[in-house]
Chains A and B, each alone.
Chain A
């Protein structure tokens, strides 16, 4: 099993392998479309699959920090940006399917949809929130914005994931099972952060070393 020691090392070949794994859903869709295996309503299948992938990758991105902290495999942080960008990638495919294969680029119809169909409003919001995150995903952006401002901006991912789950809840006819599964996972991931934040703000135990105390010890 994974060793109990913490690990800050990621093998070089891991990232390309995971990159390819993230492309498997797209590859399956392409394969299925060439073999006429997308079922009776292929456009609906593509829309649903890309939508599921978007939400799944958003949740994977949000689970990187809890997993790396709990398993002490700190190198996982190196994968988080890739997962986040894949969420944006599949979100773009999902939106493109809607714009092109559902609405055939009819701007008037799309604006009417956004205004009137609240599940579309929620979906558009979820996507729009991902745009600034994708644009500022580079190391250059972190430097330019400064760590604190970058982190504050990237908290938008919670809103995006929530809007995505609401989009799903609002579009199903009666079966809330799958949307609520996503909602539950998102809830747990947010709960983790709330607990972690509360724990970091809580009072320090009396014997724990403070920086003041350590300095005194060092000075002997």
Chain B
């Protein structure tokens, strides 16, 4: 350190006495402000109220279904504030906040591919095709958590019958809406948009496969896939495509989005199977939301009696 001679220092450079005495106070104040800011940030997370979803319109004339389970239904608050809907956000509580202004009307669904006649139907026409039923299904996410949801809809087979697929139709492909203006997650590339899913024809025609437009007796909330989605309860949740705008009948097996994203982790069939682990985590157990202990995962999510016959002779480890 070079020490200047006394005359090198000009009087204008001398720190005023008041500032010199107060510099410690100043540093103290700055540190206090920093600590307060950090605490404030922490407290803001703590004290801000959790978002509750807006209740939708009540659906009339809902029939009960023998396919419903008697297990405890997950609270509405949890099903509407804990969502994997990457079109909006990869945070579980993101979609509830970001989907509030999502427009679900007017809404058309294109029905094309291997059909007698291509159609574009208004969603309200589709909803009136059959009597709405309450289907209380177990819903198992590939991540290892599960819920029980009282969906409202009718078997997808009702729509398929009216679509008149040709003999070439071996698969059904579902496409979710692509609208980055309304769905901030689609401005990024966490997945290839639009979201695509698919089912084999016999899976799509199975009575359990639900064309769904409501839950808990009301219209679907935006963050849960409004206005119309499918629910395939014996498969991992990502198979149950949301906000559908196109249903296409195909000869070849559709390329579903998660399979494109990570082919060694997410297959086409994605049947719930405790014996076939995800490469990075076990599928043997699941956390039912609201329960403390983990419970064992059931083959086909407990729907084996109804669906196992679809897969006789198939190696479910290879066709995961």
Contacts and interface: CB of A to CB of B under 8 A. Distances in A.
A174 B191 CA distance: 7
A101 B261 CA distance: 30
A32 B46 contact: yes
Interface in B276-306: 280-282, 287, 289-290, 292-294
Given A3-B23, A21-B35, A174-B261, A40 B45 contact: no
A43 interface: yes
B158 interface: no
A28 B292 CA distance: 21
A136 B87 CA distance: 47
B93 interface: yes
Given A24-B43, A171-B280, A11 B27 contact: yes
Contact of A31 (B46, B74, B287): B46
B13 to A, nearest CB: 12
A27 B38 CA distance: 13
Contacts of A212: none
Among B42, B81, B92: residue with most chain A CB under 10 A: B42
Secondary structure at the A interface, as helix, strand, loop or mixed, is helix
Contacts of B82: 39-41
Contacts of A14: 28, 31
A44 B293 contact: no
B35 A7 contact: no
Contact of B31 (A17, A40, A41): A17
A24 B27 contact: no
Give me the 6 closest cross-chain CB pairs, A-B, nearest first: A40-B82, A40-B78, A24-B42, A175-B90, A28-B46, A21-B35
Interface of A: 2-3, 7, 9, 11, 13-14, 17-18, 20-21, 24-25, 27-28, 31-32, 37, 39-41, 43-44, 101-102, 104, 112-113, 117-119, 170-171, 173-175, 177
Given A25-B42, A41-B145, 14 more contacts: A2-B27, A11-B27, A11-B28, A21-B35, A24-B42, A28-B42, A40-B77, A41-B82, A41-B287, A41-B289, A112-B282, A117-B280, A173-B262, A174-B191
17 contacts: A3-B23, A3-B27, A14-B28, A18-B35, A21-B39, A27-B42, A28-B46, A37-B46, A39-B78, A40-B78, A41-B287, A44-B145, A119-B280, A170-B280, A174-B261, A174-B262, A177-B188
